[in-house]
Structure 1
Amino acid sequence: MWHSLVRADNLFGPRHALTAVHQQLDVLQGLLEDSRGEYRHEVLRLSAQYAESAAWLHEDSMDMASAETWTSRAMEWAMEAGDEAMLPWTLFRRSQLAAGKRNAGQTIGLAQAVQRHERALTRPMKAAAIQQEAQGLVLDGDESACHRKMDEVHEYAASVDSSGDARSGHGDFCTPSYIEIQRANCWLNLDRPDRAVDTFQTALAELPDVYQRDRGFAQARLAIAYVGIREYEQAAAEAAAVLDMARGSGSGRTLQEAVTAGNALAAESNVPAVRDLLDAVKESAGF
């Protein structure tokens, strides 16, 4: 069931998976009250797995307080269970949350802490951690170190044949195309929208179909990059393409990025495509 929920999230977004994840967490927390010994360890491992999923789904829904709560719960349960794979993964998730707050030092430090758990990491998990360190380096303004890490991470990338349900373990989303989307985000954060546009376009063309939620978020970021190079019609087209998806899926992150692009285009309302986008953004205000 957990694998099905992961796949549903990748295809449709958090709204379609969050309720089911919490239903399973309610069951698991009830089992933990009466479980002991090895049986308790098994329940703890599964509880940590679901808690980490809940954390991600809340983050994608822009409920950051709940994301932090469930990440902490996942870490606690993984520690109690002695789950050597889940524990570094919760550090990775904490690094992602730190990046969302633009805390460069914590982002880098936690990503490096993940990599010290070498024995427990699969190659895709290591890839995820290395690219996360790169996200921290770009927040620190260290362009050359960021791109050295982004080059290194390809050595550990997940298979392009990923089914999108994490059956090969955490980090199986970290395919070569995902890595290049993250590189494009680096270019955008370095105020190089020209490089970001080219990188986004290439990576999106190669992104596996199963990662529709990632596709929407990347398109929204691409829209912002187009604003940066003053291609306003194309920016409006990209942002408009993901607005409905973001509303329907509950992906607040994607909606926020699309709205950011719309706001950046406000001065160009004389362009018909931009005017239509701004009207759509207003309709999204009550999301």
Structure 2
Amino acid sequence: MGERREGLVRARKAANLTQEKLAALLPADEKSIRAWESGRSEPRPHRRDRLARLLRISPARLEELLREGTPADLRRSAGVLLPVVVDGRPVALPLDRATVAASVLARLVPAPGDAAQPAVPTTEWDAMSPLSRRSLLKNGLPVAALPALGIGGAEHVARALENPRRYMDKTVTHYFRRQLDEYKYEDGERGPAKTLPMTLGVLDIIDRIARDATAEDQRALLQIGSEGAEFAGWLYRDRRQMADSLYWHDRAMEWAQAAGDSTMQGYILLKKAQVAYDERDPRRMLILTRAVRNGPWSLPRRLQAEAAQQEARAEAMLGASADQVNRTLDVAWKLLDDAGPAESPLGAHFNATLLNMQTAICYTEAGEPRRSVELYEKTLKETHFSRRDYGFFLSLMANSLALSGEPDQAAKTGLASARRATETNSRRTKEELRRVVEVLKPWHNRPDVRELREALNS
């Protein structure tokens, strides 16, 4: 839970609004307003512009007030959000760490992850004009001032914000792709808390530019936007904020449809099926995976293989026979074997190692945890996964060990998973580990089991 957002409370009172009145004007329920001010949650992106107008503050100032209640790990992002004034209003321009380090900004703004201290001595910081700390972090910079900062492609993106029809080109789309690729890498190593603010910043700018771009440029932007929105849905999923995850998956589908990207539409349905698994809803999972496999799109074979595996898992959860589950898994393996090396970037992540992990999950769901453990022991290697993903699969292996009646080894594996979940702030992994602790209740007095339980409660 975050800290109380006193600045947000003061802004509401300065606008002469009660929580009840603000809720009615937004509109939202009063409980949401209380949650935002207490730091328990924050408004979704589509509400923020109107909220800022009702509070009579700029969108950049609202973001600053929301950060007051954000846990420290979420403030330590993968880059910097630089306020830039476009049409009289500040817009947060996302800059990755490499861009910041190579520019004048390295001397002007706090280093990513250190929001409390300026990156230069206080006297020099306070003396800066017009790039004072207050101007930079609160009021925003005019686009005309950006060339002096040496921020490369970000300057072109800012100009496209001012005039999309004149400045929108491949430089802008390449910039967004590079940013999102970096955030995806950061996510695997450091977790969603580091990458979520920057990803949302990219999506906000894509949305703004796309509104006034030409039809051709709009399609290119929304295609990238749909991929970024699906990634945002994943980040919220890993943080166990499922309503926000579904919101961004729906936004991704909307943008994929607007861009005419049918492959992406099938991919998003596949990701929604995975959310259904997280929520242990096998019937919805089965409906979605069958829609993926039979929909009006041409999916790469790797994605078809992933969908077949998801279908096998749903069948196992619904009590299908072992023969039926194995037949569907055989389909998945055949599709993967027939896949080319690089059919599509969307399916590039799915390989034999990942299918082995998901096959092990199927075995556990089918009531064969010992068979699952054997597959994990044979194929689960730390060098094959990001730190976060390795920790997650360790949690699933711990569950299979517990179900196999191996409490000590389950607890040791769970502790290794818990360390990685803490390092990457993966609430999804921790939720799986709590399921492991439930299975281990008959052995709750064993030292390793007790240590795992205490690690999750600390």
Give the TM-score band, short-chain normalised: 0.7 to 0.9
Task: Find the counterpart in structure 2 of residue 217 from structure 1.
Answer: 392
Q: In 2, distance between residues paired with 1:194 and 1:279?
A: 26
Task: Find the counterpart in structure 1 of residue 411 from structure 2.
Answer: 236
The amino acid that maps onto 2:309 is Q
Report sequence identity in percent. 28
Q: In 1, distance between residues paired with 2:282 and 2:442?
A: 32
- Tell which structure's C-alpha radius of gyration is larger: 2
Residue ranges of structure 1 left out of the alignment (5+ in a row):
none
Name the SS for the 1:94 alignment partner. Answer: helix
Task: Find the counterpart in structure 2 of residue 145 from structure 1.
Answer: 324
Task: Find the counterpart in structure 2 of residue 189 from structure 1.
Answer: 365
- How many angstroms does 1:76 deviate by? 0.7
Task: Find the counterpart in structure 1 of residue 143 from structure 2.
Answer: none
The amino acid that maps onto 2:345 is G
1:104 aligned to 2:282?
Answer: yes
Name the SS for the 2:435 alignment partner. Answer: helix
Q: In 1, distance between residues paired with 2:336 and 2:386?
A: 16
Q: Deviations over 1:39-71 (max 9, x none)?
A: 111111111110000011111111110111011
Which residues in structure 2 correspond to 1:243-262 (within 5 Å)? Answer: 243-262=418-437
Conserved 8 A contact 2:387-2:420: no
1:114 aligned to 2:292?
Answer: yes
Task: Find the counterpart in structure 1 of residue 273 from structure 2.
Answer: 95
Q: In 2, distance between residues paired with 1:117 and 1:169?
A: 20
Q: In 1, distance between residues paired with 2:308 and 2:383?
A: 21
Query: Which of 335, 338, 355 is residue 156 of structure 1 equivalent to?
Result: 335
Q: Deviations over 1:59-109 (max 9, x none)?
A: 111111011101111111111110122111111122222233333333222
Q: Deviations over 1:161-181 (max 9, x none)?
A: x9xxx9951132221121111
- How many angstroms does 1:16 deviate by? 2.8
Q: In 1, distance between residues paired with 2:316 and 2:397?
A: 18
Q: Deviations over 1:178-233 (max 9, x none)?
A: 1111111112112222112112222204x753433222111101111111122111
1:169 aligned to 2:348?
Answer: no
- How many angstroms does 1:282 deviate by? 1.8
- How many angstroms does 1:265 deviate by? 2.4
Q: In 1, distance between residues paired with 2:302 and 2:456?
A: 37
Relative to the length of structure 2, the TM-score reads 0.57
The amino acid that maps onto 1:281 is L
Residue ranges of structure 2 left out of the alignment (5+ in a row):
1-178
Task: Find the counterpart in structure 2 of residue 67 from structure 1.
Answer: 245
The amino acid that maps onto 1:203 is T
- How many angstroms does 1:116 deviate by? 2.8
Task: Find the counterpart in structure 1 of residue 22 from structure 2.
Answer: none
1:42 aligned to 2:220?
Answer: yes
Task: Find the counterpart in structure 1 of residue 209 from structure 2.
Answer: 31
1:264 aligned to 2:439?
Answer: yes
1:85 aligned to 2:260?
Answer: no
Q: In 1, distance between residues paired with 2:181 and 2:211?
A: 25
Greater relative contact order structure (CA < 8 Å, 6+ sep)? 1
Q: In 2, distance between residues paired with 1:268 and 1:131?
A: 33
Conserved 8 A contact 2:266-2:295: yes
Q: 1:11 to 1:270 in 2, by over 3 A?
A: same
Q: In 2, distance between residues paired with 1:80 and 1:148?
A: 37
Q: In 1, distance between residues paired with 2:453 and 2:333?
A: 38
Q: In 2, distance between residues paired with 1:54 and 1:144?
A: 37
Conserved 8 A contact 2:266-2:297: no
Q: In 2, distance between residues paired with 1:167 and 1:237?
A: 40
Q: In 2, distance between residues paired with 1:79 and 1:21?
A: 21
The amino acid that maps onto 2:250 is S
The amino acid that maps onto 1:52 is E
| Paired residue total | 277
Query: Which of 169, 193, 196 is residue 18 of structure 1 equivalent to?
Result: 196
> Per residue, is there more helix in 1 or in 2?
1
- How many angstroms does 1:247 deviate by? 2.0
Q: In 1, distance between residues paired with 2:413 and 2:187?
A: 22
Conserved 8 A contact 2:210-2:217: no
Q: In 2, distance between residues paired with 1:110 and 1:279?
A: 38
Task: Find the counterpart in structure 2 of residue 125 from structure 1.
Answer: 303
